[in-house]
Amino acid sequence: MTILFAPSETKREGGDLPPIAEDAFIFPELYPKRLEAAKIYNDFMKEADESEVAKLTGIKEKEALTRYQKDIFKEPTMKAVERYTGVAYEYLGYSSLPKNAQEYIDERLIIFSNLFGPVRAKDHIPDYKLKQGEHIGSFALEKFYKEHFSQALDVYLQENGPVVDLRAGFYDKFYRIKGPYITMKFLKNGKSVSHWAKAYRGTLLQEMAKRAIMDEEALLAMDVENLAIKEIKKIKNKTEIVYEIST
């Protein structure tokens, strides 16, 4: 079982692990490519003017920008799953999970970082700020990672399936799944929800980790508070589980 997940723009500051290194990432053979992207970002943050940095990060306050105008190659790191602090991560509640559930996430969750590309939950990343969809000049990170990491992901997911895709749709630009996969849709009073989808993705991931879900049968049998399976759709290589939110 492998679960694909989106990052969040909000992050925890600091860290107690060493700066980024090859052995701290999945796909070590592609580490030079991660460095290439990170260097472009790092140089931009040091050399660009204030308005350009504000556009890239989505931060307008000058004082807040100083947090990110540092050399990311010298900054401490922490696990990717602990770095991100958005809604989905709040509902996942990684730090409060039992050790076996944390280990499940560490090994089986791949997060699509806007800067570092596909990373495992346990991979070590520094603090950074990059607004979703922003390009660094003419450098499009999503195209870069799609070009250089898709083949490695194809092989990895084939060997470590089944695959559950809990990403937001934007991250198809980083990687489009070739083989069979499972995804989720959330309805409230028959209408698709967006903000609360993040919360329920985190909740579902938490429940999967607690129960060490390893196949589609166990996933479908999983009882989650306030969620009921309304429909299961099969479209080409995608199995979509449609949940109705009951509260």
Chain segment 99-122, per-residue pLDDT in tens? 999 999 999 999 999 999 999 999
- Domain span at residue 197 reads 2-245
**What is the domain count for the chain?**
1
pLDDT of residue 239: 98
Q: Is 179 helix (H, G, I), strand (E, B) or coil?
A: coil
Please, what's the b/e burial string for 163-197 (b: 16 or more CB within 10 A of its CB; e: otherwise)?
Answer: bbbbbbeebeebbebeebbbbbebbeeeeebeeeb
71-102 pLDDT per residue, tens: 999 999 999 999 999 999 999 999 999 999 99
**Which alpha helices (H) appear in 136-186, and where do they start and end?**
141-159
Residue 247, pLDDT > 80, answer no
Summarised one tens digit per residue, pLDDT across range 36-64 is 999 999 999 999 998 999 999 999 888 88
What are the DSSP calls for 181-247, one per residue? Answer: EEEEEEEETTEE-SHHHHHHHHHHHHHHHHHT--SHHHHHH---TTEEEEEEEEETTEEEEEEEE--
**Mind listing the pLDDT tens digit for each residue in 170-205?**
999 999 999 999 999 999 988 988 778 999 999 999
